[in-house]
Amino acid sequence: MPHEVAARQIATNEEEPLYSAAMHPARRPFVGGNWKMNTSRQGAIDLARAVATGIESSRCEVVIFPPFPWLLPVADAVNRSRAAFGAQDLSVEAQGAFTGQVSAEMIVDCGATWAIIGHSERRHGLAESPELCGAKLRRALDAKLSAVLCVGETWEERSAGRTDEINRMQLDAALAGVPAEALARIVVAYEPVWAIGTGRTATVDDADAAHRAIRRFLGNRYAPAAVEGVRIIYGGSVNAGNARSLFSAPEIDGGLIGGASLKAAEFLSIVAATELATASTRS
Ligand code: 13P
């Protein structure tokens, strides 16, 4: 379907997906493994090797996010494989007297190509403001990193009917000053805070609705040609048992996996489930 037709649909029916996944085989399914503050050095190497071997013939884009000290050992472990890796955060500063911080350039120097920005454990656990997340996103993009930009509401906000408002506010602050060309290097992760590490996932319908709204917000800022290819993934208590049904929703382009990314076999079955789920909505 040509873009103009899709654009007309947006104008006439806000409830419909802006751009159906079937139109965009280029929206390659994405599965990220956010290891958070877990793994030993050897554990990280073993896990990275197992992931790299297990995804050799996968259609999904698979990116693992080890803790900072393991970026270099993981770089070795995934060398010459299809697995990419990235950092879980970065400093908003380029360099200098910033004790304990890690710059985008250092991350790039380790061979990483991705960074997570705005994870709720930083927004809520470390009081990172939406504006700081935006500045970090621009730093990542300036350093030629790709970024997983996390957004999502707390349970209190959801209960008050504010899910879309919160996602929109976080996106607006993060994307201020980000040009349309950069969207190709951004994956948006919808991670409802109440679903992270709780064993409680959003329903497929709720996640799909939030993803549609996120794509609408992107459509308010950018032209359809830029928005249609942006992958929007879901995170929050995804496991091998629920991945296939969650990711079969047309607006869910994959997932950002926490706890279940720490066991190679489970993570690989999530990758396989993502591939199966998205194949049925995208071909
Ligand atoms: P869990 O999969 O452990 O809920 O964590 C999700 C997450 O925060 C990924 O970034």
The pLDDT tens digits for 204-243 are 999 999 999 999 999 999 999 999 999 999 999 999 999 9
Nearest CA residue ID for atom 7, ligand 1: 258
Instruction: State residue 77's pLDDT score.
Output: 98
Instruction: State residue 279's pLDDT score.
Output: 82
What sign for the dihedral angle of Cα 148, 192, 210, 62?
A: positive
Which tokens belong to 85?
Answer: 């890796």
Three-state SS at 90: coil
Confidence of residue 283 (pLDDT cuts 50, 70, 90): low
Question: Does residue 119 have an active-site annotation?
Answer: yes
Mean pLDDT of the 127-138 span: 98
Mean pLDDT of the 73-81 span: 97
Structural domain contains residue 8: no
Structural domain contains residue 236: yes
Structural domain contains residue 155: yes
- Catalogue the E-assigned strands of the chain: 30-34, 61-65, 84-87, 114-117, 146-151, 186-190, 232-235, 254-257
Q: What are the pLDDT digits (tens) for 241-274?
A: 999 999 999 999 999 999 999 999 999 999 999 9
Q: What is the pTM of this model?
A: 0.91
Confidence of residue 14 (pLDDT cuts 50, 70, 90): very low
User: Domains in the chain: how many in total?
Assistant: 1
Q: What are the pLDDT digits (tens) for 146-158?
A: 999 999 999 999 9
Structural domain contains residue 181: yes
pLDDT greater at residue 247 or residue 19 = 247
Structural domain contains residue 80: no
Nearest CA residue ID for atom 5, ligand 1: 258
Q: What are the pLDDT digits (tens) for 159-183?
A: 999 999 999 999 999 999 999 999 9
User: What residues make up the domain containing 30?
Assistant: 26-68+98-193+204-282
Structural domain contains residue 15: no
Question: Does residue 105 have an active-site annotation?
Answer: no
Q: What are the pLDDT digits (tens) for 87-124?
A: 999 999 999 999 999 999 999 999 999 999 999 999 99
Report which DSSP code applies to 62. Answer: E
Structural domain contains residue 178: yes
Which tokens belong to 283?
Answer: 């071909």
List pocket residues of ligand 1, CB cut-off 6 Å: 34, 119, 191, 196-197, 235-238, 256-260
Percentage of the chain surpassing pLDDT 90? 88
Distance from the alpha carbon of residue 4 to the mean position of ligand 1, in angstroms: 37
pLDDT greater at residue 282 or residue 23 = 282
Structural domain contains residue 16: no
Maximum Cα–Cα distance across the chain: 55
Percentage of the chain surpassing pLDDT 70? 89
Instruction: In whole angstroms, give the CA distance from residue 60 to residue 251.
Output: 16
In this structure, what CATH number is given to the domain that contains residue 113? 3.20.20.70
Distance from the alpha carbon of residue 81 to the mean position of ligand 1, in angstroms: 24
Mean pLDDT score of the chain, rounded to an integer?
Answer: 91
